[in-house]
Amino acid sequence: MTAADPAPVRTRDTVSAAPGRRPMTVLVVSQALGGAGMAAGMTVGALLAEDLLGSTGLAGLPAALYTGGAAVGAMTVGRVSQHRGRRPGLALGHGAAALGSVGVVAGAAAGWTALLLTALFVYGAGSVTGLLARYAGADLAPPERRGRATGTVLLATTLGAVAGPNLVGPTGAVAAAYGLPRLTGPFLLAAVAYTAACLVLLLWLRPDPMAVARARAAATGPAPPSDRGPAAKKAATVPGPGQARVATGPEETDTDTDTGASRTPNGRPGRRRPSGVVTGATVTISAQLVMIAVMTMTPVHMAAHGHSTQAAGTVIALHVGAMFLPSRLSGSLVDRLGAPPVAVASGVVLLMAGVLAGVLPPQGFAGPAFALVLLGIGWNLALVSGSAMVTEAAPPATAAAVQGQVDVGMSLAGATGGMVSGLTVAGAGYPLLAVAGGVLAVAVIPAVALRGGTGRPLA
């Protein structure tokens, strides 16, 4: 094995480039379970910290912790997936989230702030698995359907993620019945849901999606450039033995179908669309920063204007639904139009969300709900289009590790947004936070996507 060879996925599975529906079905079930757990932190994390710490300015600390933890989790899950396969990597993440959820309940019940905050970090390290699973969905699909496969995995998250916030009241009652703080109820649900998701993956996700992707690459080589996007590249010329020509902008490279390593036409080592990874990462990271900042402080903003915890939970449920429900449509748009137009649309939608969140009267329910639905839609468009750019550009030899690194950036952006959001609201108010977030999104995402993106689909 050479240094350029991908690390073998250690599995006893019989690997086929056409694995059938079972692996995708298992992914969908695990995503639905994980979605219920993920919603807990979004819904009551800030309220729990505000109660325990006694400060609105520190209410964004939980988001900063669990998104900071997600950075560590994304790197770890990405590396484990690269060397051991998607199944152990994703199962490890869900297991960590379950452990963190138990720690949050214990810390809140004991009034031990250090344990609560540490557990939120561990919870975040595991909860990132729900997003990383989108790459496993792409692994299972042929190139022309990867956008829709990515969307299917993200859509499955909606089943649990929408139900989770609406169970704030019932799970709070269960927690209170056992002498626990009511706000720990959603984390009890998260512990059960993440444990179930971990077991589903360990027991039934076969063959491993990473092994399927590598089997397909070995059998067919990289897909040729698509002519469906508005910025599609000219078809590649006939490749040399054992190679497939891929268009990379001003200079094409020949990519070895076994290793993923690339060479320029004169035989010198080359790289496979590195700008595509940077562009896709910038799109997703910018959207994550804006979304986390606005979403984190919306329940606190609503509570300050007389809304109940259940009302705030319903708004977050609508928001989470909007984050994932459009995924199949977003994936189809990327497959048909290419990633840059979809990324541009995301920036515009995020601007609309920020402006409306800042100017609509907070005393009513409809205003915050509508603004956060738009916030979720804009985030979804950015995530799917940015992931398309990353998936296209990442070399097969290091794809899982590269994808994990991109999600590290998303997690760090979320941590920044979560921390800054509380301080901004305490010092300048929620409207300024929301409007500034929208302006940032429309200023960065479209410009980056149009300058460095590719019109090719998720293939």
Starting from the edge strand earliest in sequence, which strands make up the sheet with 262-263, in order? 243-246, 253-256, 262-263, 269-270
pLDDT at 249: 39
CA dist., res. 244 & res. 80, Å (int): 28
Burial of 366 (0-12, 13-18, 19+ CB in 10 A): exposed
pLDDT at 213: 83
Of 345, 427, 433, the closest CA to residue 386 belongs to: 345
pLDDT at 41: 64
Gap between the terminal Cα atoms of the chain: 26
pLDDT at 27: 93
pLDDT at 165: 67
pLDDT at 177: 92
Q: At what angle do helices 366-393 and 129-140 cross, to 10 degrees?
A: 50
Residue 422 Cα distances to 17, 62, 180, 299, 408, angstroms: 48, 10, 26, 12, 22
Residue 308 token pair: 């109940």
CB 187 within 8 A of CB 101: yes
CA dist., res. 167 & res. 163, Å (int): 6
pLDDT at 304: 83
Q: Within the chain, which residues score under 70 in pLDDT? A: 1-20, 40-43, 46, 54-60, 63, 67, 162, 164-165, 220-274, 452-459
Of 194, 144, 145, 201, the closest CA to residue 40 belongs to: 194
pLDDT at 15: 56
Helix (H) or strand (E) holding 10: none
Of 142, 133, 105, 174, the closest CA to residue 35 belongs to: 133
pLDDT at 273: 45
Place of tokens 């319903």: 314
CA dist., res. 349 & res. 339, Å (int): 16
Of 31, 56, 45, 32, the closest CA to residue 292 belongs to: 45
